[in-house]
Amino acid sequence: MAFHDNDDDDDGGVRKNKSQVLSVLITYLSVCAGCNLSIFLPVLAGENFVHFLISLLFIGSLTVLVVFLIKLVSEINIVSTIMKKHGEKLMKVCYIVIGFYVFWDSSLIKHLIALFW
């Protein structure tokens, strides 16, 4: 994704929500829900139903809190200026760095080196 220049500047067929906070919350939940479930479900599997619900409520509350925190940070002038100017480049750098980290952390690089040497 970072190496392709798929700029979607045209708004063809894209609906705009009235609430930016709601848009960020829905996007966050759709992108991160799988990761959160894969991390927390094994931990919560041994809990009773009440503790499980309390944990889900806590995770959900933290999610909403993070979205509002992101909204507050985005309203800081220097942050919004940097994001407007360099946001796309920074996003691509983040994708590349995260990708390399996943390769390193999963021992893929060591495995590939072992295969070829």
In this predicted model, what pLDDT tens digit does every residue of 10-49 receive, in sequence order?
Answer: 555 555 657 777 887 887 777 777 777 777 777 778 888 8
**C-alpha to C-alpha distance for 27 and 102, rounded to whole angstroms:** 22
Amino acid letter for position 100: F
**C-alpha to C-alpha distance for 32 and 35, rounded to whole angstroms:** 5
- Residue 52 has a pLDDT of 84
Question: What pTM does this model have?
Answer: 0.56
Residue closest to 40 by CA, chosen among 17, 64, 56, 63: 56
Amino acid letter for position 85: K
- Residue 76 has a pLDDT of 93
Instruction: Please name the residue that has the structure tokens 């800081």.
Output: 76
The answer to whether residue 100 scores a pLDDT higher than 80 is yes
Instruction: Please name the residue that has the structure tokens 């906070």.
Output: 21
